Structure formats: structure tokens, C-alpha cells
């Protein structure tokens, strides 16, 4: 499966701004740590994919996890990761049916965030499996 829609840094920033504008949490404020966002984008861009849909799934899952782990925004990182990844999949021909509360996925992203040494591969496998279950 060839990647049709490529994400830009501005796409990620725009997604975070939309999330913060919803004012789900009154303490949410918008700010970007651009150096961290650059690192997230570099990690995502280096994650190579072939024309295999499984590789596309892994690339999207890693994007979500990189954002949750690196925390490039002052607020809404996990929500931003979920939204931009859903958009990435949608524009590349895959839709996700994530429950509105996203409780299970957010729990996995908290686990990713808590391991400061790097992306925990065991948790990554669970995220990839979760996404594969909600693909439509």
C-alpha cells in the first residue's frame, strides 16, 4: 500500500491547536516545543514503509506513540497523536473506529509516555494490535 498523504509538521501543529481549542481541560494551553516536534517528525520520517499495509499500520502506530512519548506540546499530546494518526490513516485509505472515550488506547499511550528510556516495544506491539482491531 503506497502512502498517498504525507504528514507535515504543520499538520501536527494544526491538530494540536484544534484539540486545545475544544477546551476539554480548562488548563489546556497551546505551545509547541519545536525542537521536540522536529525530533518526532524525524523519527516518523525515518520509519520506512514498503507497499505492505502492515508496514503502514506500524508507521501510523509509531507516529501516535512518538507524539505521546516525546510530548512536543504543552497539552493534548495523546489526543493529538490519536487525531493525526487517524487522519494519516484516513487519507491513506484506512479508517479507524476508535470508541469515543478512547480509554484503552489512551491507557496504552500513558504506558508509552511513562517509559522515558524510549518506546517500549512490548507496548508498541499492543498499540499496533489495538489499531489493527479498530481498522474499518
Predicted confidence (pLDDT) at residue 51 exceeds the cutoff of 80: no
Q: What is the mean pLDDT of residues 15-42?
A: 91
What's residue 88's pLDDT?
A: 93
pLDDT at 84: 96
Q: Is a pLDDT exceeding 80 seen at residue 48?
A: no
Q: Annotate 77-123 with DSSP letters as a single string.
A: HHHHHHHHHHHHHHHTT--B---TT-HHHHHHHHHHHH-TTS--HHH
Span 53-70, average pLDDT: 92
Domains and CATH numbers, the chain: 9-134 (1.10.3290.10)
Output the pLDDT for position 28. 86
In tens, the pLDDT along 86-130 reads 999 999 888 999 988 889 999 999 999 998 888 899 999 999 999
pTM: 0.90
Amino acid at each position: 500500500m503506497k502512502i498517498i498523504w504525507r504528514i507535515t509538521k504543520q499538520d501536527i501543529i494544526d491538530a494540536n491547536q484544534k484539540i486545545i481549542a475544544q477546551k476539554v481541560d480548562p488548563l489546556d494551553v497551546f505551545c509547541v516545543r519545536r525542537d521536540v516536534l522536529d525530533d518526532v517528525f524525524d523519527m516518523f520520517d525515518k520509519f520506512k514503509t514498503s507497499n505492505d499495509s502492515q508496514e503502514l499500520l506500524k508507521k501510523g502506530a509509531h507516529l501516535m506513540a512518538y507524539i505521546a512519548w516525546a510530548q512536543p506540546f504543552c497539552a493534548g499530546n495523546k489526543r493529538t497523536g490519536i487525531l493525526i494518526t487517524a487522519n494519516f490513516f484516513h487519507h491513506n485509505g484506512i479508517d479507524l473506529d476508535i470508541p469515543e472515550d478512547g480509554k484503552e488506547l489512551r491507557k496504552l499511550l500513558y504506558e508509552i509516555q511513562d517509559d522515558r528510556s524510549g518506546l517500549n516495544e512490548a507496548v508498541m506491539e499492543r498499540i499496533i494490535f489495538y489499531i489493527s482491531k479498530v481498522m474499518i
